[in-house]
Amino acid sequence: MFNKSFLIGLLTICGLSFSLFAQQSEQKSLAVTVYNNNLGVVKDLRSFYVNSGKSVIKVTDVAQFIDPTSVHIKFDGQVMEQNYQYDLVSMDKILQKYIDKKIQLIGKNGEFIEGILLSSAAGQLVLQKDEGGLIMLPSLSEYRISVGSLPDGLITRPTLVWLVESKSSGKQDVEISYQTSGMNWHAEYVAVLNEDDTKLDLNSWVSIENISGTSYNNATLKLVAGDVNLVQDRNKFQYDQYQRYDVMKSVVSEQQFAEEQFFEYHIYNLQRPATLLNSETKQISLFEASGVKATKKFLYRSGGWSYYGDNQNKKVAVIVEFENKEANNLGLPMPKGKVRVYKSDGKAIEFIGEDLIDHTPKDETLKLKIGDAFDILAEEIQTENNKISDRVYEQAFEITIKNRKKENVVVEVEKNLGFYWNIISTSIDYKKKDASTITFQVPASAESETVLKIKVRYTY
């Protein structure tokens, strides 16, 4: 037969007795700013009844992975002390607190076992009976457990506890802000190439991840794009594991985010309230653009030094390139993320490759590696390696572009020469890209081969 203390204990374990730890408050507004690097900033405005003199304010529903050192509170008074309580209720923690104390077990058929808990580990219990002797339970699957009350120190939700001093009693607004880990966001893009690979349609989504340990209901949501510097040990409670841009209506319809320059970053303001549930990934459309001019290119990168006579068959990359300019139906800051590229085969849209982009400002060119060409190959050999003197060497290379396609192509060859080089001769004109790299535009007719010859002198 259940007694009163047993019933109270059962309700406590079930998590129904919240009033012991929650302080009644009215949430007046909530704003969440999410960054790209496991960081969220929460601004919470609540109304509390505050007593004059010294009193305690308890705030529940804060993030479980809050950084307590980042908390800022603003109200008509003074905060004298802050405590962050995060030892949350669980069956294992309750049982550990009840070692050497009496507990009760109720079996599926109503049998009742009572005794002093001596051990609790890995779902196994050892009890000492009142009349002497031990009861050892290798499994708890057949039993429910009852204890007298919730042990001291355990709480149902993460709680900020402030010791405050106020000059007057009454309701007043308390503004709370803090940083938390367990929040992140990233952009994802989908590009669809047209039939002749000259244009693409591009749309972008943002994915917002919340595993901070609490939910944020009807919050003002902002996303910050940029590389914000964080000290690595910022959060010891960390979980395991501009120029304003006016959207062109012809490009983007029903834009959900308003973007603006913020410090040296870009900030995206969602134009409606949003709810971020705990352990949820939310996706929201960022923009859509159509008719973006694009170019398909073939690129072979040569790694410089190689052994004499070494025959290297290497892949030729397929690159899709486009300009992030207003004249090209874009011209907006593009947060870093993954770009998935599709193309129609005449019957359905098929996936052809993907690449990652970094934070890219407007008026920059984006280059996406889609994959490697099937019908275009590069074969490279070193044909000479001569020592002219102790400080002078000469090397010669041949790079053969094999085009097995039924159409003419141009392959950009990027050759890394290292340092202290001087070109003696080449069979095709080159451009100097930087101190160690030169590039060639190598034409290859349909179903034919083109040989690029390079001779280099190194002086040390």
What pLDDT, in 10s, does the model give residues 180-229?
999 999 999 999 999 999 999 999 999 999 999 899 999 999 999 877 77
24, 162: one domain: yes
Q: What percent of the chain has pLDDT over 70?
A: 87
Distances (CA, A) of 148 to 129, 143, 152, 330: 17, 17, 12, 65
On average, the pLDDT of the chain sits at 84
CATH number, domain of 112, equals: 2.30.30.100
Please write down the HEC assignment for all residues of the chain: CCCHHHHHHHHHHCCCCCCCCCCCCEEEEEEEEECCCCCEEEEEEEEEEECCEEEEEEEECCCCCECHHHCEEECCCEEEEEEEECCECCHHHHHHHCCCCEEEEEECCCCEEEEEEEEEECCEEEEECCCCCEEEECCCCCEEEECCCCCCCCECCCEEEEEEEECCCEEEEEEEEEEECCEEEEEEEEEEECCCCCEEEEEEEEEEEECCCCCEEEEEEEEEECCCCCCCCCCCCCCCCCCCCCCCCCCCCCCCEEEEEECCEEEEEECCCEEECCCEEEEEEEEEEEEEEEEEEEEEEECCCCCCCCCEEEEEEEEEEEECCHHHCCCCCECCEEEEEEEECCCCEEEEEEEEECCECCCCEEEEEEEEEEEEEEEEEEEEEEECCCCEEEEEEEEEEEECCCCCEEEEEEEECCCCEEEEEECCCEEEEECCEEEEEEEECCCEEEEEEEEEEEEC
Cα angle value 271/277/279 (rounded, 5°): 130
Q: Which residue has better confidence, 326 or 237?
A: 326
Residue 323 structural domain: 294-332+359-459
Q: What's the N-to-C CA distance of the chain in angstroms? A: 95
Mark whether 176 and 310 lie in a shared domain: no
Which of 2-6, 59-63, 161-165, 285-289 comes out lowest in average pLDDT?
2-6
Whether 123 maps to a domain, the answer reads: yes
pLDDT of 422 reads: 95
What total of structural domains would you count in the chain? Answer: 3
Q: Please indicate, yes or no, whether residues 16 and 129 belong to a single structural domain of this protein.
A: no
pLDDT category of residue 401 using cuts at 50, 70 and 90: very high
pTM of the model: 0.69
Q: Is residue 244 predicted with pLDDT exceeding 70?
A: no
Neighbours of 84 (CB within 10 A): 16
Q: Looking at the structure, do residues 171 and 311 belong to the same domain, yes or no? A: no
User: Which residues contact residue 223 at a Cβ distance below 8 angstroms, ignoring those fewer than 6 apart?
Assistant: 33, 34, 35, 185, 206, 208, 257, 267, 268, 270, 335
Q: Strands 337-344 and 349-357: what pairing? A: antiparallel
Gap between the Cα atoms of 310 and 383, Å rounded: 9
Closest by Cα among 391, 379, 367, 405 to 312: 379
Strands 265-270 and 53-60, sheet pairing: unpaired
Q: Indicate whether 84 belongs to any domain.
A: yes
Q: Who wins on pLDDT, 318 or 130?
A: 318
Q: Residue 249 pLDDT more than 50?
A: no
1: Cα separation from own chain's centroid: 53
Residues 144-164, mean pLDDT to the nearest whole number? 83
* 430 and 367 in a common domain: yes
Over residues 407-442, the pLDDT tens digits come to: 999 999 999 999 999 999 999 999 999 999 999 999
Beta-carbon contacts of 51 under 8 Å, excluding residues fewer than 6 positions away, are: 166, 169
Backbone angles phi, psi at 2, to 5 degrees: -75, 135
Q: Residue 436 falls within a domain, yes or no?
A: yes
Sole residue written with tokens 């009760």: 104
Residues 126 and 162 in one domain: no
List the structure tokens of 365. 């060119």
| CA–CA distance, 8 with 101 (Å, rounded to integer) | 17
Q: Do 20 and 132 fall into the same domain?
A: no
Mean pLDDT over 75-83 rounds to: 88
Domain presence at residue 258: no
Cα gap 100→106, rounded to integer Å? 19
- Both 164 and 29 in one domain: the answer is yes
Residue 371 lies in a domain: yes
58 & 173 share domain: yes
The stretch 63-72 carries a mean pLDDT of: 89
CATH number at residue 25: 2.60.40
Residue 312 pLDDT more than 70?
A: no
Across the range 133-149, mean pLDDT stands at: 86
CA distance 61 to 276: 13
- Cα distances (Å, whole numbers) of residue 76 to 22, 167, 172, 175, 322: 22, 8, 8, 10, 55
pLDDT value for 313: 60
Answer for the pair 223, 34: CB distance below 8 angstroms, yes or no.
yes
What pLDDT score does 392 carry? 96
Any domain includes 213:
no
If one compares 310 and 267, the residue with the highest pLDDT of the two is: 267
Task: Indicate if 43 and 131 belong to the same structural domain.
Answer: no
Is residue 347 included in any domain, yes or no? no
Q: Is the pLDDT score of 251 beyond 50?
A: no
Whether residue 268 is contained in a domain is answered as: no
Dihedral sign, Cα of residue 90, residue 93, residue 97, residue 101: positive
Q: Is the domain of 302 the same as that of 425?
A: yes
CA dihedral of 95, 96, 99, 102, whole degrees rounded to 10: -20
Distance in angstroms (rounded) separating the CA atoms of residues 320 and 30: 42
State whether 57 and 165 are in the same domain.
yes
* Under 8 Å between Cβ of 435 and 422: no
